[in-house]
Amino acid sequence: MFMTCSTLLEVACSCLFAALYKRLAFFESILVLDIQLSVSIVVLVMNQGADVDEAEKITLGIGITAVVLWAVLGFAMVSR
């Protein structure tokens, strides 16, 4: 059932663990990309919009909070 194979670090381990590691690395990469894109969008909106009304401020505030909570939840799930 557990056949040995080599991971990226050239350490012999179970193929199941190697597949889990690949999924973990992919998930973390996508999560970091999501954070970077969200922050970039907020910076671009704030740089271009000199006249930001209350609705846009509320939307940006809720969006930033949601992204931070999503990232914290994602990294908490990865560490388990």
**pLDDT-based confidence at residue 4 (cuts at 50, 70, 90):** very low
pLDDT, mean of residues 40-50: 70
Distance CA 46, CA 51 (A): 9
Query: Alpha helix (H) ranges present in the chain?
Result: 15-48, 54-79
Asked if residues 9 and 16 have their Cβ atoms less than 8 Å apart, the reply is no
C-alpha to C-alpha distances, 61 to 34, 35, 50, 69, nearest whole angstrom: 17, 15, 16, 12
Angle at 77 between CA 75 and CA 6, to 5 degrees: 85
What are 11's two structure tokens? 């350490």
Look at 17 and 28; give whichever has higher pLDDT.
28
Task: Tell whether pTM > 0.85.
Answer: no
